[in-house]
Amino acid sequence: MVATDINKRAEELRRRINHHNYLYYVMDQPEISDAEYDRLFTELKRLEDEHPGLMTPDSPTRRVGAEPLAAFVQVRHPQPMFSLANARNEQELEDWRRRIGKLLGDAGFDPAQTAYVTEPKIDGLAISLVYEEGRLARGATRGNGEIGEDVTANLRTIRSIPLALRLKRGEAPPAVVEVRGEVYLPLAAFAKLNERRAAAGKSTFANPRNAAAGSVRQLDPQLAARRPLNIWCYQVGYNEGLDFASHWEALKWLKEHGLRVNPLVKRHSNFAKVVEECNAWEARRAGLDYDIDGAVVKVDSTELQRVLGIVGRDPRWAVAYKFAPSTAITHLLKINVNVGRTGALNPYAVMEPVMVGGVTISQATLHNEDDIHRKDIREGDWVVVQRAGDVIPQVVGPVVQKRTGRETPYKMPESCPSCGSRTVRPEGEVVVRCPNKSCPSQIVESIKHFVSRGAMDIDGVGEKLVESLFKLGLIKNMADLYFLKPEDLVGLELSSSLNKQGKKVPHRLQRRSVDKMFAALAASRDRPFSRVLFALGIRHVGSINARLLAGRFHDVDALMAASRDEIASVEGIGPIIAEAVREYLEEPHNLETIRRLRSAGLRFRLAGGEAAGGKLAGKTFVLTGSLESLTRSEAREKIEALGGKVSGSVGKGTDYVIAGEKPGSKLSKAQELGKEIISENEFLKLIG
């Protein structure tokens, strides 16, 4: 191949690889397989290795990381990177609107005509990207707002940052354009990174922001390249040759030129919509794969931004609507365990109460013994606590620097705290178990599972009532619930408390609560076979596996008669689940429970509406937002009963997206992919 042809081929490979990088990392719409991408990349790398003169600054092969740096060079930003004033509630947000409204009114503008843009406030590392003649020339941290650190080599390793702007045919690039963005570490990657660090005996990161900052500020770009950092771009800063009438217009320019802009950013013509969207961001926070600590509100018009100006270090035309923090540091006092329905001993942390995400937390999950040792969590430690998905509190890891030497390594108990049986840890498992099938804690937890919303959904029978009925000897297993009598329960003393005078006041079951409980028990008799099978609490049999088993064997008698191999042959089941099913069905007391539940009228046979090949057969649905007349589990149940499938994410195989109130990012993804979006009412009409 002659030199001219080699050069053309290298240019073509760079163009194609950059194009596919854009589709994969920015648009999330890959067109080629990983193998085909690797083939193109390998060919370009070979050509550049054989002909070093072909290498260009924006070559995708430059992303793998340069040589380690001795230190970061300080650089001055072309425009200061200002901080934002905070609004911590709706009243403070309204106060901000009134202040800027008065300033605009005094300047001769109509405040009522002001448009706004709302964006997520990513909890990451603010950075500045400077493109010269269309190519990435420098990337820097925010620093003190005026001077930051040159981290270009590390930022080049982030594949969602284009090394060159995407230009239309014949379009001249701006001489200089600065792009502002926030580098972050996805939550799943953050969890894996902390696991690796704990396993290596290193301190864990307190939150994704610290992890992202630590990754970008590595002196060795090779280390930064190994962490899957990402970016959302949110602003055009200093530039030469560009003139935007609005912030919204600037964001559109960023997207058109290959920069990653959050698809849920919105423009609003009135402030009521701004408040609504800020609350929507807080509601969708738990479903995101990145950490946000608020929403940013900006005046859209660049003319009005200039009129409002800057006070101190804060632009008057923007404000951060801050959410309650999702992590905190507190003192771990003790590690206790509870016994689950399958006998698993589940450790949890008892801590000094601390506010996390607007909720006071005093207990948090610790998963299992291996996880405790991998993170090196000790009784007496100061620990980082996080509300996983803003719901479940968990201990991220210890603050090693605060240790005094009095902290105690943890060891799981050798006997069950509920029944005293010697605990075991089956080979190949991380969970320590109580082997006693008659363990009181296991029985109580199995009844709680049976009545839970995802299982039999028996409203009015909560965890406290289950514990009280078991303690009083009124129920010994789940089947006993259906043989209770109202007269046995009305007036029953469940607990007591002390009044202000120190006198014991009993709490008794009222007639209305008992009637509600028995109405729910009656309604539960109509739950489909798959729900009943799931409610039994067979180890490894979740709701999906229960549906697979119900769809294959149609009734419990056929399932009882099936061999391990026959059960394992069901697609999606396998030998481990099959072994657990056979073990459950060979226990005499489990068979007696099933017999009594059948006599109580529960369904142990597939009904006609559940049969395979229903009207939704072959269709895949995605749910987003809050539904009005159905819960998520009820909608899922209806879809699957008619042969359809429910997926947790929107993809090429999605047929319908059911959008309720305050939908999340799945709606934007569906719109991008052109998927059919239907309302709850349209879904109900679809299923008749």
The neighbouring-strand residues paired with 239 are 177
Cα→Cα distances 349→346, 392, 393, 564, Å:
10, 13, 10, 39
User: Locate tokens 């509600």: which residue?
Assistant: 516
How far is residue 421's CA from residue 650's CA, in Å, rounded to a whole number? 47
User: Locate tokens 């990088």: which residue?
Assistant: 21
Strand blocks (E) in 197-344: 230-240, 266-268, 292-299, 310-311, 314-315, 318-322, 327-339
How far is residue 573's CA from residue 579's CA, in Å, rounded to a whole number? 10
Cα→Cα distances 203→166, 211, 381, Å:
40, 11, 13
**Catalytic: which of 8, 121, 476, 652?**
121
Return the number of other C-beta atoms located less than 10 Å from residue 669's C-beta. 21
Q: What interhelical angle do 588-599 and 574-585 show, nearest 10?
A: 80
Cα→Cα distances 266→263, 278, 457, 646, 652, Å:
8, 11, 39, 28, 25
DSSP SS3 for 191? helix
Annotation marks residue 121 as catalytic:
yes
Least Cα distance to 255 among 228, 234, 277 occurs for: 234
As a residue count, the chain comes to 688
Least Cα distance to 191 among 331, 358, 391, 374 occurs for: 374
| Residue environment code for 284-307, b if the CB has 16+ CB neighbours within 10 A, otherwise e | bbeebebbbbbbbbbbbbbebbeb
Planar angle of CA 293, 392, 436, nearest 5 degrees: 165
Least Cα distance to 44 among 77, 6, 70 occurs for: 6
Q: Are 417 and 337 in contact (CB under 8 A)?
A: yes
DSSP string, 532-562: HHHHTT-TT--HHHHHHHHHHH-BHHHHHH-
How far is residue 216's CA from residue 225's CA, in Å, rounded to a whole number? 9
User: Cα 223 to chain center, whole Å?
Assistant: 26
Least Cα distance to 63 among 159, 135, 142 occurs for: 159
Within 162-269, residue ranges assigned H as helices are: 187-199, 208-216, 221-225, 247-256
Q: Are 670 and 650 in contact (CB under 8 A)?
A: yes
Residues classed as catalytic: 121
